[in-house]
């Protein structure tokens, strides 16, 4: 008997985040302490981990930085602290947009998975009050082959965690660990590596790598893995169509389209924020200070991307594509922003810049605002 089979025969569960509020992959979801705080917050329905590579990203605080700024003021005023792993801008009143020249997490993919398994086997994660475990969305990037390996590894951890991570205590179990995977194909800050999500052939390569790994899942596996794509801000119809065409092509793969969700959007690249002296506010790997825009300034284009992608998904003739959900990200900082994001078709709303400004308490603020 063939020990492998199509992922369509693995027990499927609907993509769902409840409550539909979570963090985006960002620098405030880097450390174990960050992830514990986000998971144990009763107002988050999932936790997204900062995007990682198979091998750790080489980060330096003088070239990988972020700052908050006010769009109405027109320039940054915050000081950058370079005594931390990345250059972190101070939080000042009214500066609700952000710019970053960051890359990826300095923590490698397998180190994150080890961290999650360990936390799930201890009392680090407060799960007793939950009907079911919150999913950790492991955001990854790299080559298509590396992303495929990440998918294979997460499927193994979901179904046979002791194979790679033997429990030191016979009573320990990681059965409460729920995982999803986000493929970040949209970071604008990596020199000489344009975001693959703008190119149809590159998108197809990554989607196929995931589909191939899912198609090889052993018959003993009963838990499937939701996989999503994080997209950049698209600015014209042809870019949206490239995404939809790649998804529709993937319906011919063994098991159909392997994508469950789209995270829209990442930061807007090629943006520059100056300081009061008209110098670049941030350091960067290429020396220009040009980076990715987020926060309030990104909100209108994020809404437009979510609405357009949702409309195109809904009109697809392929049920696999039509059923894809969207996590809407970009400038959500209060209940009004959350309502706007959900009204244009998001299944859940993610928070980035506002988390960096307000901490985990932002999720309580948004939730209470919805109840008012």
Tell me the per-residue pLDDT of 76-104, one tens digit each, with 9 for 90 and over.
Answer: 999 999 998 899 999 999 999 999 999 99
Give the pLDDT score at 12. Answer: 57
- The Cβ of residue 132 has, within 10 Å, a number of other Cβ atoms equal to 10
Give the pLDDT score at 1. Answer: 33
Give the pLDDT score at 320. Answer: 96
Residue % of the chain over a pLDDT of 90: 85
Task: Determine contact, residues 61/87, Cβ cutoff 8 Å.
Answer: yes
User: Could you tell me the strand order of the sheet in which 80-81 lies?
Assistant: 80-81, 87-89, 65-69, 97-100, 291-295, 268-271
Quick one: pLDDT band at residue 173, thresholds 50, 70, 90?
A: low
Q: In the structure encoding, which two tokens stand for residue 62, read together?
A: 């003088």
- Rounded mean pLDDT, 108-121: 95
Q: Please, which residues have CB within 8 angstroms of residue 266's CB and are 6 or more apart in sequence?
A: 184, 186, 187, 188, 195, 230, 231, 232, 233, 292, 329
Give the pLDDT score at 127. Answer: 74
8-state DSSP, 298: G
Tens digit of pLDDT for each residue in 174-202? 557 999 999 999 998 888 788 999 999 99
Give the pLDDT score at 188. Answer: 85
- Using alpha carbons, select from 308, 360, 362, 361 the residue that is nearest to residue 337: 362
- Rounded mean pLDDT, 12-28: 92
Q: Residue 138 forms beta bridges with which residues?
A: 49, 181
With helix as H, strand as E and coil as C, how does 229-296 read? EEECCCCCHHHHHHHHHHHHHHHHCCCCCCCCEEEECCCEEEECCECCCCCECCCCCCCCCCEEEEEH
Quick one: pLDDT band at residue 2, thresholds 50, 70, 90?
A: very low
**pTM (2 d.p.):** 0.94
How far lies 87's CA from each of 17, 172, 266, in Å? 32, 38, 20
- Using alpha carbons, select from 16, 19, 15, 17 the residue that is nearest to residue 335: 19
Task: Determine contact, residues 243/310, Cβ cutoff 8 Å.
Answer: no
């Amino acid at each position: 008997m063939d020990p492998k089979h199509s992922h369509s025969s693995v027990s499927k569960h609907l993509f769902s985040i409840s409550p539909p509020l979570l963090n985006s992959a960002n620098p405030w979801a880097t450390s174990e302490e960050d992830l514990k705080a986000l998971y144990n917050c009763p107002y988050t329905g999932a936790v997204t981990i900062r995007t990682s590579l198979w091998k750790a990203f080489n980060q330096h605080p003088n070239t990988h930085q972020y700052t908050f700024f006010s769009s109405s003021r027109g320039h940054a005023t915050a000081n950058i602290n370079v005594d931390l792993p990345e250059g972190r801008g101070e939080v000042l009143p009214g500066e609700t947009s952000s710019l970053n020249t960051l890359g990826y997490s300095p923590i490698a993919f397998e180190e994150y998975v080890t961290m999650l398994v360990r936390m799930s086997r201890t009392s680090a994660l407060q799960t007793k009050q939950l009907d079911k475990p919150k999913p950790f969305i492991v955001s990854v990037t790299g080559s298509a082959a590396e992303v495929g390996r990440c998918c294979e590894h997460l499927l193994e951890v979901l179904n046979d965690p002791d194979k790679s991570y033997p429990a030191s205590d016979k009573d320990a179990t990681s059965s409460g660990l729920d995982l999803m995977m986000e493929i970040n194909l949209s970071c604008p800050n990596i020199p000489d590596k344009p975001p693959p999500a703008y190119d149809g052939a590159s998108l197809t390569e990554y989607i196929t790598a995931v589909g191939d790994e899912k198609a090889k899942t052993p018959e003993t596996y009963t838990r499937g893995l939701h996989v999503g794509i994080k997209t950049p801000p698209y600015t014209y119809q042809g870019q949206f169509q490239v995404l939809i065409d790649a998804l529709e092509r993937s319906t011919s793969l063994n098991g159909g389209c392997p994508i469950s969700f789209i995270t829209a959007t990442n930061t807007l690249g090629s943006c520059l924020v100056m300081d009061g002296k008209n110098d670049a506010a941030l350091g960067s790997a290429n020396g220009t200070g040009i980076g990715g825009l987020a926060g309030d300034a990104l909100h209108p284009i994020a809404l437009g991307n979510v609405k357009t992608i949702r409309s195109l998904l809904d009109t697809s003739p392929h049920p696999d594509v039509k059923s894809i959900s969207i996590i809407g990200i970009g400038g959500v900082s209060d209940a009004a922003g959350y309502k706007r994001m959900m009204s244009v078709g998001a299944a859940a709303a993610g928070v980035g810049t506002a988390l960096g400004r307000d901490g985990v308490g932002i999720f309580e603020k948004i939730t209470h605002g919805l109840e008012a």
